[in-house]
Amino acid sequence: MSPSTRRFLALDVFRGMTIAFMIIVNSPGSWSYAYDPLEHAAWHGFTPTDLVFPSFLFAVGAAMSFSLDKFKGYPSLEVTFYILKRTTLLFSLGFLMYWYPFFRLSDTLEISAFPLSETRILGVLQRIALCYGLAALSIWFLGQKITYILAGMGLLIYWGILLAFGVPGDPFSMTGNAGLHIDLALFGEAHLYHGEGMAFDPEGLLGTLPAFANVIAGFALGKHLQQKGSAADTVIKILLVGALACGLAVLWDFAFPINKKLWTSSFVLLTVGLDLIILAVLLFFLPVNARKNAWVSFFEPLGKNPLAVYLLSEILLVTFYLIPIRETRLWPWLYETFYQPLGNDFGSLLMALSFMLLCWGVGYWMDKKKLYWRV
């Protein structure tokens, strides 16, 4: 069977599972009530929620291993234009998503301006865009082997930059890390994320360097599967490499703490390892050209339209928080009226699941209509 005729359903399911979990952790009924595994680690450490974003990047790399093949034989200038255009579109969508609804609404329902000078520049889609652009250009112009080496070197270089240019004795803290000072110098305090109680962006510019390795790891896996298929020995090797990466991450944690918000190199190794383990399990149950079943069919609409469903979830959530109702807003009113009576934490989770199913419904409808949003 040629690589072009192989159908890796496991990758589609992995992408769909990632989107589903991302929506769930981003939309609790109340941020005051959430089970611990559904919250990010406060700083150093790791929770299942911390795996969501790196898994998205891993899935981007896996998809890239297939999509770049269609450009073989094309002029490099044309390929470069396509990559830069896609990078710019993804970055712009992320920027506009954080700016939405382009005005502010006070508790007294007074509308005020949301000036461009106060918008967040970096973010989730912006990091995906930058990592995609760097990875695609590197693979196209430098080749796979050199790109793999650069990704590994980037993890070491990032460690060195934080140690050399961070606050002496405190290079891995929120206020002492070098990435914060770079973001402040380039973008200014007003353009950074303020959800941590201060101006600090967990998707800062310097963190693109180690996050690049998450994309390249996904690309490497995709290429390996195209060449080797999903035979038992291949699945076992993927499982062992994943376990090895996790083990190395735990050891590195003693010198370079696992930290999602800093996107430390040990965090990259841990998340890549866990993604490989998860995919090994999926490949065991869903080998090449596997037939669909009920649970696979559930995740497929999300995996086929990840960008559209993700943007929908974020914009819809902001809209729910914006609509006034009975001296509060629609989202907290729905939680307090229908879900909180079932229990604070449980109701919060149940509302997040309900919202995910709402977004899934749109994805399912788009899939049935053969509507797929690509940029």
Q: Is the peptide bond before 101 cis (omega within 30 degrees of 0)?
A: yes
How high is the pLDDT of residue 8? 77
Residue 226 lies in a domain: yes
Please give the mean pLDDT across all residues of the chain. Answer: 93
Backbone angles phi, psi at 33, to 5 degrees: -130, 110
SS (H, E, C) 80-137: HHHHHHHHHHHHHHHHHHHHCCCEEECCCCCEEECCHHHCCCCCHHHHHHHHHHHHHH
More confident residue, 293 or 362: 362
- Identify whether 261 is part of a domain: yes
Q: Residue 231's pLDDT is what?
A: 85
pLDDT at 2: 43
Tell me 33's DSSP state. Answer: B
In the block, which residue shows the tokens 């930059």?
A: 161
Q: How confident is the model at residue 373 (pLDDT cuts 50, 70, 90)?
A: confident
- Residue 327 is predicted with a pLDDT of 83
373 belongs to a structural domain:
no
Q: Which residue has the higher pLDDT, 4 or 56?
A: 56
The 3-state DSSP class for residue 148 equals helix
Q: Decide if pLDDT at 329 tops 50.
A: yes
Residue 362 lies in a domain: no
Write down the pLDDT at residue 101.
92
37 in any annotated domain: yes
Q: Residue 375's pLDDT is what? A: 67
Distance, in Å, from the CA atom of 54 to the CA atom of 211, rounded to the nearest integer, reads 8
Does residue 287 register a pLDDT over 80?
A: no
Task: Note whether residue 217 is domain-resident.
Answer: yes
- Report the SS3 class of residue 328: strand
Query: What are the distances in angstroms from CA 41 to CA 48, 53, 80, 139, 259?
Result: 9, 13, 38, 33, 8
Q: Are 62 and 139 in contact (CB under 8 A)?
A: no
205 pLDDT more than 60: yes
Confidence of residue 286 (pLDDT cuts 50, 70, 90): confident
pLDDT at res. 297 = 82
pLDDT in tens, 39-52: 999 999 999 999 99
Residue 237 pLDDT > 90: yes
**Structural domains counted in the chain:** 1
The range of the structural domain enclosing residue 131 comes to: 3-290
Report which of residues 93 and 4 the model is more confident about.
Answer: 93
Query: Is residue 315 scored above 80 in pLDDT?
Result: yes
Q: What is the C-alpha to C-alpha distance for residues 56 and 332, in angstroms, rounded to an integer?
A: 28
In a domain, 200, yes or no: yes
Residue at 145 is within a domain: yes
Average pLDDT over residues 336-361: 97
What are the residue ranges of helices labelled H in the chain? 9-26, 52-67, 76-99, 124-142, 144-165, 178-187, 208-228, 232-252, 265-285, 294-304, 306-322, 330-334, 344-368
Structure confidence at residue 7 (pLDDT): 62
pLDDT at 106: 81
- Per-residue model confidence (pLDDT) at position 358: 97
Q: 289: pLDDT confidence band, cut at 50, 70 and 90?
A: low
What per-residue confidence (pLDDT) applies to 229?
Answer: 81
Q: What is the mean pLDDT of residues 21-30?
A: 96
